[in-house]
Amino acid sequence: MDIQPTTTQPISDDQELAKALAGIADDPIADIPAPAPLVEPSAVPDPSPVLPPVAEPAPAVVEPLPAPAVAPVAAPSDLTGVKELALNELRPLIDKVELPAEEKFDAYLMLIRSTDDASLVQPAHAAAQAITDEKRKAEALLDIIKEIDFLSNPQK
């Protein structure tokens, strides 16, 4: 394939532009700004202005915040006493609590483990039988068996 230009442009335009640009680029002094004129130190005004004195603001009065209404933390012996009271109060009411079968079983198991009350095993077993998930039901029945074994063999 042979490509021939159909029109020719004068080369002088590009060459003249190249020369003009080369002349600007070749002059390194053209890019340096002229130095500032020297000023006598006595002619320079004092740069720090004189301001009138500022009055000190009055100190802010900060009132203490009221103490939050938080019950004091009970000592461990107090917590044990409260736990025993709550367990004794819960024992006759546990049958009235409306919970899903799994949660009701967990409540009975907690009561059995906290009080060693063998009379709670039968209601716990009934709650375990009401659990619909077979895996969770099997775990609950195993827990019942463990608790019966524990209650049947007193610790020495």
Q: Per residue in 113-136, pLDDT tens?
A: 988 889 999 999 999 999 999 999
What is d(CA 150, CA 92) in angstroms, rounded to the nearest whole number?
23
- The DSSP symbol for 96 reads G
What is d(CA 106, CA 142) in angstroms, rounded to the nearest whole number?
13
Q: Is the pLDDT of residue 79 over 60?
A: yes
pLDDT at 95: 84
Phi and psi torsions of 110, nearest 5°: -65, -40
Which pLDDT band holds residue 107 (cuts at 50, 70, 90)? Answer: very high
Neighbours of 126 (CB within 10 A): 13
